[in-house]
Amino acid sequence: MKDILTVRWPRIITILFCIHMCLLVFNGTKYFTIGSRSQIYASIVILVACCMTLSCRGKKFKNIFSFERVICVLEILYTFVSAIFINDSFERGTFLASILFFTLIFFWTCMAFDGKDIRCLEVAHFFCGVILSLGIFFSMHRPYGLTSRTTILTYTGEYYDVNFLSALIVIPAILLFDKILRGEFNRMVAAVAFTLMVVAIIFTGSRAAMGVLGLGIMMIIMSRKNIIDYLMIIPIILLLAYFLSLYIPDDIMYRFVNNGFDISKDRVRMLDWSYGIRLIAKNPVWGSGFVSSHQLIYTLLSADITAHNTYLVFAINYGILMTIPLLLVMFLPLYRLVKYDAPMGYIASYVAYLLLLLPIEANFSEIHIIPICLYLAISGYVKQCYLSKYTTC
């Protein structure tokens, strides 16, 4: 009877997080931001805090001062100090999103996820990518003038930014490709899902997403010991992709084939980054406060642009002093995955996530929060498997 009444909090949190990922298509904000419209995250944080407090028996919190949780506490304290004492003003939404993000990470890392939790999180992540891809095909909204770049029109009347949308699809796509080669799912079903995600990415016209997709696939293939045995699935995927690509507009294909990834074509983005660096130089240690980079650049540098780089914006908001610990937390899952011999699919998809933050400003967006939560859980489980000498993870 006692076992029946015992509640396993990580399983509850896993289910809630999976539901949140599957319903991400209903976020309703252009950049998938968190805050007032993302109440599920707030519910998760409050639920975890209450559950961990009520179920605490002392030894459950023996690792409460782990590296990532100490950093989260410091970042939360600094957020309050910066808003109250260091900077004159702050945006309420940015301030609350910062507090919510670090509180979520703090309690999320208190959870001990097992193999079933990880499996559930992975499947929900794949469903998230497929649902967003189907949303693109059903919506077919083209808000960018003469170009055929396609996105989803939300229930709020906004459209999802194509770069953010493609980033949310490409990360599970890379991981699914590795799962196909490893034979962990029905290969035909998984191949169809993978193809849907790839074609959806192409429809968005995101060169960054296609670039990291190619890099991820290359990393996975090159990691295989018997490459020939695992290349048999690729013709099936390419064949499906070929027939689906017949419906891709010519200007989208021209964007990939002719424009390519020539850095000279992204001079505007480089200009945005240069303004971000200039803004950091104005207050490098403590940061300029929790205001959007657009507002800060407009106020301090008289330019109507944004920094367009997640890492730069963290340095703008937090200063170098608190950005370095934050980056350590962000790179912690990658360190664990590499150190504890995780499958290459995990490593490749997380590298893709880190690279995708370079051309977009996703500091408190779902594209930043979902992968870091997911891979903190996965890397923790991989570490547990390795240290416990498990044969599979």
Question: In angstroms, what CA-CA distances link 389 with 184, 240, 259?
Answer: 21, 40, 48
Kindly report the backbone phi and psi dihedral angles of residue 141, in degrees, each rounded to the nearest multiple of 5, phi listed first: -85, 130
Q: Supply 337's token pair.
A: 């995955």
Looking at the whole model, is its pTM more than 0.75?
yes
Q: Is the pLDDT of residue 88 over 80?
A: no
**Tens-place pLDDT, residues 154-211:** 888 889 999 999 999 999 999 999 998 888 888 888 888 998 898 899 889 888 898 9
Task: Among 1-15, 65-79, 182-196, 223-237, name the one with the lowest average pLDDT.
Answer: 1-15
The lowest-confidence range among 10-24, 83-97, 338-352 is 83-97
Q: What is the mean pLDDT of the chain?
A: 82
**In angstroms, how far is CA 228 from the centroid of its own chain?**
32
Structure tokens that stand for 66 in this block: 């782990």
Residues linked to residue 33 through DSSP beta bridges, in sequence order: 365
**What value does the mean pLDDT take over residues 3-24?**
74
Domain boundaries, the chain: 8-52+63-247+268-387
User: Is residue 246 over pLDDT 60?
Assistant: yes
DSSP-derived letter for residue 365 is B
* 22 phi/psi in degrees, rounded to 5: -65, -25
- What is the distance, to the nearest Å, from the Cα of residue 359 to the centroid of all Cα atoms in its chain? 13
Over residues 314-345, the pLDDT tens digits come to: 999 999 999 999 999 999 999 999 999 999 99
Would you state the structure tokens that stand for residue 73, as one six-digit string? 């506490």
The DSSP element (H or E) to which 343 belongs, if any, is none
State pLDDT tens for residues 275-319.
899 999 988 998 888 888 888 888 888 888 888 899 999 999 999
The two structure tokens encoding residue 39:
């109440």
What confidence category does residue 145 fall into, taking pLDDT thresholds of 50, 70 and 90? confident
| Amino acid at site 32 | F
